[in-house]
Amino acid sequence: MLWMAGLMGLVGVGAASLVAIKPDEIEDEHEDGALEDDGYTADTIDLFDQFDTLDVSQILGGDADEVITGTSDTDFIEGGEGDDRIDGEGGSDLIFGGIGSDILNGIVDDPDYAGITDTDASDYLNGGDGDDLLILGANDIAVSGAGDDEFLLGDWITEGKGVEILDYEPAHDSLMLVWDDTSATADEPDVSVNPDPDDPEVMHISMNGVSVAEIYGDTELSVADLTLIPLSSAEAIGLEPV
């Protein structure tokens, strides 16, 4: 089943939380899960009835290059093959790029704000195979997968809502930090990288003292490994977060 094959340890419970589930635990303890199929791209998954809620819209891409947009609720989206653009929209979404060079977007921007402000719940993004761009919002969890991948995040991430990047590889992956330069008085932020005091394999990236990301993996990450991009420049070269 695609759900079992693609679910690398995360499943949404309720409207705004993620918990870790191992595949063997799913098979051994939750054999009564059901998949109600009402069409190719609009299945409803009602699994694990001991959890309070798990109502997920499932959207499956095909072999072509596609633009896929989720719903305002929790979605499971799999891009399939091709170079896809996937926007989760609202809810705590699980987004898998699949095969190809994909763009996965975990941000929902507030159009009434001049810069970028993320109004979305926490999402899980997995690039899969290919050279992918993962655009991360508040409390998102990201896995790049195989390929030379790019993580894009920025100062729309506020205190206590940093992202988690689980498989950053400095030899293959890039970290880009976007800062809001829409105001005439905006200054380039101070960026720092510091090890977690309790876990030497976790590094914290901060912008102006706000921790925007936790990077997991045994890596010698430093500020020199980061690319700092003004929002106006990001938009000009097609890296706009939304």
**pLDDT, position 219:** 72
Q: What is the overall mean pLDDT for the chain?
A: 76
pTM above 0.85, yes or no: no
CA 168 to chain centre: 13
Quick one: pLDDT at residue 241?
66
* Residue 191 predicted with pLDDT over 70: yes
pLDDT for 71:
82
**Angle at 203 (CA atoms; ends 199, 209), nearest 5 degrees:** 120
Q: How confident is the model at residue 55 (pLDDT cuts 50, 70, 90)?
A: low
Q: Is the pLDDT of residue 194 over 80?
A: yes
Q: What local confidence, expressed as pLDDT, does residue 102 receive?
A: 93
Q: In Å, how far are 18, 37, 232, 234 from 10, measured between CA atoms?
A: 6, 22, 34, 30
Q: Average pLDDT in the 209-226 region?
A: 90
196 or 32, greater pLDDT = 196
Please give the Cα distance from 24 to 148 (Å, whole number). Answer: 30
Higher pLDDT, 58 or 135: 135
Give the C-alpha separation, 95 to 93, whole Å.
Answer: 6
The values of phi and psi at residue 235, to 5°, are -65, -40
Q: What pLDDT is attached to residue 56?
A: 65
pLDDT band for 72, please (50, 70, 90 cuts).
confident
Q: How confident is the model at residue 171 (pLDDT cuts 50, 70, 90)?
A: confident
Q: Is residue 59's pLDDT more than 90? A: no
